[in-house]
Chains A and B, each alone.
Chain A
Amino acid sequence: MRKSPLLRGAVVSAAALLVLAACSTDDSVDDPAPDAGADPETSESADAPADSSADTEWFVQADFDEQDAQRSATFEGDEATPWLQYIDGPMTDTKKYATQEAQKVCFANASISNPWRQTGWITMNQQLKALQDSNVIGEMETRDAQDDDNTQIADIDYFITEGNCDVFIISPNSTAAMTPAVERACETGKPVIVFDRGVNTDCYTSFIHPIGGYAWGIDTANFLSDNLEEGDKVVALRILPGVDVLETRWAAAEKIFKDNGIDAVDYFTGADPSKIKQIISDELVKGDVKGVWMDAGDGAVAAIEAFEDAGVDLPVMTGEDEMSFLRKWEETGLTGLAPVYSNFQWRTTLLAVEKIVKGEAIPTEWVLPQTPITEDERADFLEENDGMPDGHYAKFGGEDLPGYPQVWQDRKIP
């Protein structure tokens, strides 16, 4: 009898731990499916020309140099419509796809679980309306993989077998895992458009993306290095590991910080503002923090507030073109830069469909402009986007679409 509380406690706690374990292993379910991601090494070596010894999983010197050069490249097309601009390069001939019929577009989306993707998703839907009105697209069927590789593979396979699709659009959840599924979509002979995150194949009709993560890292780390002294401390706040477009941002920035003698420490935050605040306040107790670098602007406000709460000088900081950061930046007057990972690529994707349907050649790798917002330009962007919610992105590029500005102001997720 005396043992019973102990026993009961042990049983209950064992059960609780089972639950704990079940919950905390949730993420490992996201591992690539056996058929998809079994060869991460081969896919990486395919990714990386093995000429430079300094290359690591996420840092490839050649890519760094290429994107560094692209930052000052000339873009074809009208500057007033940056979502249609591209860097001159190989084109895909699409004459064989030319048709008068309204197309059925199948869109395998990685997720809409951050404000950047939500903004893009809204813009894409308004672009869809415009193209439906002009009878280019009949309908778009979308499957949201909710950040899960396995779900997205299933989504793509569903589209291939049951979707009755004329065009595939894929915004991959992760690079290596999604490659075989994208290849299967290519095998159908229908046009395949990949955008945002990349895949390790070039079977696609077009791969649409802004310059890339290295360019982001170069812009931001150069800005911080220019505005800080050697030996100054920078806290780098990163959303999550393992996504190429985020990893390369940090890889490039880390290299530049190292070259300039900036003392940078990085943390993963999951964009959780309470975590960000805690990280910054602990760092502030340990010593002065002169700069804050972010691989995405989500949570920038919390980072600035941590400095305010501690009553210390605000840092030099790079955020993103998210309205919350632009507003806080203006309000506080800190020295900052808003790098941009061009959100308008979401509409470029559908405009590419329009070009394919018309049989116009499109860039095989469609590199969109990616220009940070400086302090001088900030006021203009704040004014243009007046009334937009905090999660909105200043360079969303949808001003000429139906529903502007009301649809973006209401921010109802379609």
Chain B
Amino acid sequence: MSTPVTTSTPAPARTAIPAHQRGLGGRLLAAVLTPGGAVFVLAAVLLVATIQANPNFGDPGVIMLFLGRTAPIAIAAIGQYYVIVSGEFDLSMGAVIGTQVVLAGNMIGEDPDKVVPVTVLMLLVGAAVGFANGVLTTLLKVPSFIVTLGMMLALGGLVSYLTGGAATGNPVDEFREIGRGRFENVPVLEFLPYPLIILVVLAIAATLLMRRPFGRNLLAVGDNPESAERSGTSVWWLKTRAFMISSLAASVSGILLVGYAGVHPSVGDGYEFTAITAVVLGGVLLGGGRGWVLSAAAGAIALELLFTLLTVKEVESTWRDTVQGVIIIVAVAVAARGWQAGRRPRGSARRAPSTRIPTTPTPGTTNGDN
């Protein structure tokens, strides 16, 4: 970028980055054309299709109930986004949720005074699991899906040990209220479930975080870890924080699910795959470096809408897994291509040549050092 701007056309004082060169409409259109933007359209289409299939789904109360129960999945997807965008995986999410659910059931029990300390403990456990995942992945160089798969099995075993595989009693209603409660008499919406509010707050926080240096660096690490490292980024700490965010998101999901559903060791089963599917459906590039955090949340909502549509259409629920499998494959394929097509203006001539690092070695400069 050392070339000074000396174009003859009356150009703006500062050249906008390619994505900002078009007007607002053009930028919106361009965004929608990327996989990360298309998922919002997909969600809207699925909502319309579901309402068309059964008008009862258009009732605000029903939509609120739906969003309330989708919030834990969307929150898990937001957490998973951080890990995936940094080029890793977190398969331990479901097990973390299961652990938190069982912890809540066993430790809070019928004592309202324990709600706060146990919640704090649960979040600490979540952070610790994420820290372990991150350190094992980055410092011990074990591939993340092995680390988190191992974590999933280890936590699953712990839950089996603690429960014998069966439900323990539900914790006090005060704690369950977090995931089950709602503000009544809200105009237009009828009511507002707490989980939805928590989702909105976390989504805003996640968006802001992605605009901070942490978020930018995380994308850079996911895109090209080597160059990020050479530019002075502490890769291990970045990724470890991503894993911690993921486990904390799973913990929040777990807290909400205890309220929504109740305590059972099977709560959280398969959440890691649902979250990964949602993230991928949100157009986030598996392997890292591309994708928007809100698209991951939208991917979760679109996925659940799709399942609801299948239910409304009386499709056997046994097809659910198959649908999810197909979505993962198709979405990965589309996302990998889509980002290249939608993001960059056509024609390689517009690309700034200086972003290419010359690959030809300069001969003779390193001779004789020893």
List A residues at the B interface (Cβ < 8 Å): 2, 5-6, 8-13, 15-17, 19-20, 23-24, 111-115, 117-118, 146-147, 267-268, 270-274, 276-279, 281-282, 285-287, 298-299, 301-302, 305, 309-311, 324, 389-391, 413
Besides A15-B143, A273-B264, A413-B164, 8 other A-B contacts (C-beta < 8 A): A6-B340, A13-B329, A146-B165, A274-B260, A285-B57, A298-B264, A324-B169, A389-B169
Query: Which residues of B (280-314) have their CB < 8 Å from a CB of A?
Result: 280, 285-290, 308, 311-312
**Residue of A with least CB distance to B304:** A278
**Residue of B with least CB distance to A10:** B336
In the assembled complex, which residues on chain A have CB atoms less than 8 Å from the CB atom of B262? 273, 299, 301-302, 305
Q: Are B286 and A13 in contact (CB under 8 A)?
A: yes
> Min CB distance, B45 to chain A, in Å?
19
Q: Are A115 and B166 in contact (CB under 8 A)?
A: yes
Residue with the highest number of chain B CB atoms closer than 10 Å, among A268, A271, A282, A310: A282
In the assembled complex, which residues on chain B have CB atoms less than 8 Å from the CB atom of A281? 65, 69
Within the complex, which residue of A12, A267, A278 is in contact with B286, where a contact is CB–CB below 8 Å? A12
Q: How far apart are the CA atoms of A51 and B187 in the complex, in Å? A: 64
Q: Are B165 and A112 in contact (CB under 8 A)?
A: yes
Q: How far apart are the CA atoms of A281 and B65 in the complex, in Å? A: 9
**Residue of A with least CB distance to B162:** A413
Within the complex, which residue of A11, A23, A118, A279 is in contact with B166, where a contact is CB–CB below 8 Å? A118
Cβ contacts A to B, 15 pairs, < 8 Å: A5-B339, A6-B337, A9-B336, A13-B328, A16-B286, A24-B321, A113-B166, A117-B166, A268-B317, A274-B261, A277-B261, A282-B308, A285-B56, A309-B180, A391-B168
Say yes or no for B40: interface residue by CB 8 A criterion. Answer: no
Say yes or no for B325: interface residue by CB 8 A criterion. Answer: yes
Interface stretch (choices B21-29, B207-215, B229-237, B266-274)? B266-274
Q: How far apart are the CA atoms of A24 and B258 in the complex, in Å? A: 25
Within the complex, which residue of A8, A24, A111, A271 is in contact with B287, where a contact is CB–CB below 8 Å? A8
**Residue of A with least CB distance to B257:** A274
Q: Are B167 and A115 in contact (CB under 8 A)?
A: yes
* Given A273-B267, A286-B312, also A20-B273 (CB < 8 A): yes
* Given A13-B332, A272-B264, also A20-B325 (CB < 8 A): yes
Q: How far apart are the CA atoms of A290 and B57 in the complex, in Å? A: 19
In the assembled complex, which residues on chain A have CB atoms less than 8 Å from the CB atom of B180? 305, 309
Q: Are B164 and A271 in contact (CB under 8 A)?
A: no
In the assembled complex, which residues on chain B have CB atoms less than 8 Å from the CB atom of A24? 321
Q: Are A5 and B164 in contact (CB under 8 A)?
A: no
